Amino acid sequence: MDIDLIRSELRSFISQTSISQSAIARAIGVSATQISQFLNGKYPGDNESLATEIVKVMRNHNQKALKKGKDDEDENFTPYYTHDFSRAMFVIDDAIEDREMAVIYGEPGTGKSVIMKAAKQKYPNAVLIEATLNTNAAAFLDELMLKLNLSLSGKKANDKHNTIVDFLNKPNTDKVILIDEAEHLSVRSLEDLRRINDFTQTPIIFCGTHILINNLRGTNGELKQLYSRICGKWVMRGLGKDECEKIFKAPYIFKWSENANGYANFRISAKLYKKSLKLARNENCEMDEKIVEEASEMMILGDE
């Protein structure tokens, strides 16, 4: 077994799928530190056994992705030509070009995560972190280090911050930090990111709900230094009627997913389209207005 080849394949797998080292570790039943050690050639245990389990995880993921691609071939859609997508990507491109910070925010389901994944695909040098309610300051630094393929071994919080800064300041290290669900970041994590940008000029893109923009200001204005450094923003509005019909190629979706502001929620529209398509197949008929209406009755739409 060529261990070095598997290390290389694992790095490519992480880069292409945005699956974290922590997630791979959980799938195998080991610690994230062990995966990091393996990647850096410092794993003290049975490298061959660990490599075998890593190959299984990568193969299983690829098989599932292939099957999903075949099953849902006509149900995959990305709003590349919508106003939201083009403007959000402009803000992201501009921040990356100027090596600054930007924020994309809006209501849940407006397509924010789709845009962040598209940005990750456009910029292979980017690392994408998806924050959760469990992402405290320590967990965030750990996740960022793992995404940058840096070892966590024996480092305290300040050491981790300095390690990240030193790495990002190395010649030919050109990284972009993308953070989805960034409203879950703590004040300390936001301050860490401000300092990382200050010290390294690494572009940072925050993405989240309207809560995020309030968090970036700070409850009592304590994050003014951070907020003043945000060079660009885009507020997601949702899909216009023409955009909705162009994406889903079904004129009836917008009617049932339109919100009070006159736009359609992207996530609701996508789910309604899929359910309508399945219902039409089940009834062995074409998807029409009646089918979409029936499918809408099987879903929770908006704030009902």
Give pLDDT tens digits for 131-148: 988 889 889 999 999 999
Residue 129 exposed, middle or buried by CB count within 10 Å (0-12, 13-18, 19+): buried
- The sign of the dihedral angle between the CA atoms of 272, 275, 279, 280 is positive
Contacts of 264 (CB under 8 A, 6+ apart): 238, 239, 240, 241, 243, 244, 253, 254, 257, 258
Q: Are 252 and 245 in contact (CB under 8 A)?
A: no
Q: Are 12 and 149 in contact (CB under 8 A)?
A: no
Q: What is the pLDDT of residue 63?
A: 60
Q: What's the CA gap between 73 and 60, in Å, rounded?
A: 19
Neighbours of 197 (CB within 10 A): 19
Find tokens 């879903």 and name the residue. 299
Q: What is the pLDDT of residue 11?
A: 86
Q: Are 84 and 110 in contact (CB under 8 A)?
A: yes
Q: Are 198 and 85 in contact (CB under 8 A)?
A: no
Q: Are 264 and 229 in contact (CB under 8 A)?
A: no
Q: E strand or H helix at 268, and its extent?
A: helix 266-282
Q: What's the CA gap between 178 and 88, in Å, rounded?
A: 13
Q: What is the pLDDT of residue 303?
A: 54
Name the pTM for this structure.
Answer: 0.72
DSSP 3-state assignment of 66?
helix
DSSP 3-state assignment of 95?
helix
Q: What is the pLDDT of residue 37?
A: 92
Q: What is the pLDDT of residue 92?
A: 97
How far, in Å, are 175, 257, 258, 259, 293 from residue 304 at the CA level?
Answer: 43, 12, 13, 11, 15
Q: What is the pLDDT of residue 225?
A: 79
175-191 average pLDDT score: 94
For residue 69, what pLDDT band results from cuts at 50, 70 and 90?
A: very low
